[in-house]
Amino acid sequence: MNKYLSVFLITFFAISFFSFGWLSHTAYTPGKKIKKISYLERIQRKKELHVVLLDAPSSYYVGVDGPQGFEYDLLKEYAKHLNVPLKIETAHTIKEALKLSQDIDIDITSASLTKTAKREKKLYFGPSYFEVQEQVICYRGMQQKSNFPRDVEDLAGLSILVGEDTSYQETIKALQNDGFDINATYSSSLSTEEILEKVSKHEVDCTIADSNVYALNLRYYPEIAMAFSISGREQLAWLLPDEATELKADLYTWLNDYNQQGKISQLKDHYYSYVLFFDYYNTKMFYKRMKSRLPKYEKLFKEAATRFGIPWTLLATISYQESHWNAKAKSFTGVRGLMMLTRHTAKLLGVKNRLDPKQSIVGGTRHIKQMLKFIGSDVKGENRLKFALAAYNIGMGHIRDAQTLAREIGLNENIWSDLKVVLPLLSQKKYYSGLQYGFARGSEPVKYVEAIYNFRDILENQMQSLSK
C-alpha cells in the first residue's frame, strides 16, 4: 500500500467517524430523555389523593351526617383543588399512622402530628395547619384532694399513661432525662382518646394531650380536667413522602390562599367554638337527662324530623336548650312547653295546647322551618341553620340588623363565624342606634346556638357509641 492510499484511508475513516458522531448528536433531543415524575404529577396521573387520617374527633370520624373532622375537611378541600377524589386509610393510633405513612402509595399523612425537632430529623413535613400546646390532663375528682398536679414536680407519684411514638412520650423522656420523677407507661394500642376515657374513669391519674384534642373530648369525658400546659406553642403538620418538593410547594400555596379567604377560621369555629361554652354542671346534667327524659320524646322528635327535613338530634337539643325536656316548663315571660312557644307564636302555628309534647315539637319545628325560608340565599350550608336558630331566639329583624352591621364593619354577613362577632354589638348604643330594630341582647343568641350544637354533638356521639 503506497503512501497516498494510506493517507486517503485514514482521512476517510476519520471523516466517517466524525460524521456518524455528529449525526447521532443532532438526532438526540433532550425531550426524549426519561424524566422521573414528581409526587404532584403522580397524584394527578393516578387521579386520587391517597391519605392517612387518624380515626379521632380531632382528625376524622364518620358522624351522623357522614365523614367529618377538621383535618378531613382540609384535605377534602385540597383534593378538590387538585380535582381528584380523596382516598382514605384510617389509623387507630399515631404509631400506626407513622407506619402507614411508609407505604409508597400514601401521599399525605394527617394524624395530628406535632413537628418536633426529633421527628424532623427523620421525617419530611409539609406545611403546618394548626397551633397547639401539650397539656397535662388529669381526673377531675383529684381536685378535691391534695394530689391534683399544678406543675411538673407534682407529677411524682402519679400514674401517667401516653401513647407510644407520640410527641407526649418525647416530652416525658426529656423531662425524665432532666431529673424529674415521672412514673409513665406507654401504650402501643390505645389512642389518645381512649387514654382520656381511662383518665375520666380514674383508671389512670393523668395523661398528656394536645390542647385541641383535650378541647374536643372534654364534652365526651367531663370528668377530665386540664392541670397545666407542659409545652410551648407547637405546630401540627402534614407528613409527606421524602423529597416530595413539588407537592409541598403546592400545599403551601394552597393553604396560604385558603387561610387568606378566611376558610380555616371558619373550620376552627365550626369544630372548636363550642369549647368556650363548656360548663361542667350543665354537661353532667345533659348526660343524666339523655337517659331519664329524652326517651319519652325521642319518637316525636324523629317524626317531626322526617316531616320537616331537619335532623332529629338538632330538634332534640333545641328543645333541651329551651326546656331541658320538661313538657310543663314555663318561663317568667310566659313561654311554655318543650319548645317554649309564646302564646302568640303558638296561635300562628296552630298549636292549641303548648303543654302537649307532640303539638309543641311540631309547632317549634314548623317555626324553625319558617325561619329558614327567611334566610337569604347567600347564606349557605350549616350557616343557614345557625342563622335560623339565632332568629328563633332573638327574632329575624335583629338578625338582619346584624347582617347590615357586619357589612358596615367589613365582615362577611353570610357566615356564622362573623355574624356571632357582630351580634353582641347590638347591645351597644353606638351600634344599634342607627339600625332598624334597635337594641338587642345579642350575646344571647350566640350562646344559644353554640350550646345547641355542643349538646347535639354530645347526643350524636352517644347514639353512635350505643349503636356499636
Q: Which sequence positions are flagged as catalytic?
A: 322
Q: Which residues have CB under 8 Å from 119's CB, separation 6+?
A: 113, 125, 167
Q: For residues 206 and 161, what is the distance between their CA atoms, to the nearest angstrom? A: 7
| Beta bridge partners of residue 99, listed in sequence order | none
Q: For residues 112 and 209, what is the distance between their CA atoms, to the nearest angstrom? A: 11
- How many of the other CB atoms lie within 10 Å of CB of 400? 18
* Side-chain-side CA neighbours of residue 365 (13 Å): 24
Residue 342 phi, psi (nearest 5): -75, 165
Identify the DSSP state of 178. T
Q: For residues 250 and 220, what is the distance between their CA atoms, to the nearest angstrom? A: 37
Q: For residues 152 and 168, what is the distance between their CA atoms, to the nearest angstrom? A: 14
Rg (the chain; Cα; Å): 30
Contact, 300 vs 339, CB < 8 A?
Answer: no
Helix (H) or strand (E) holding 118: helix 117-120
Q: Mark 6-37 as b/e (b = at least 16 C-beta within 10 Å).
A: eeeeeeeeeeeeeeeeeeeeeeeeeeeeeeee
Identify the DSSP state of 38. P
Q: Where are the alpha helices (DSSP H) in 261-356?
A: 263-272, 280-292, 294-308, 312-323, 343-349
Q: For residues 464 and 419, what is the distance between their CA atoms, to the nearest angstrom? A: 31
- Residues 345, 348, 349, 350: is their CA dihedral positive or negative? positive
Q: For residues 283 and 86, what is the distance between their CA atoms, to the nearest angstrom? A: 36
3-state helix, strand, coil in the chain (%, to 5): 55, 15, 30
Query: What is the SS3 assignment for 159?
Result: strand
Closest CA to 130 of 265, 289, 302, 16: 265
Q: For residues 42 and 107, what is the distance between their CA atoms, to the nearest angstrom? A: 9
Tell me how many helices (H) and strands (E) the chain has: 20, 12
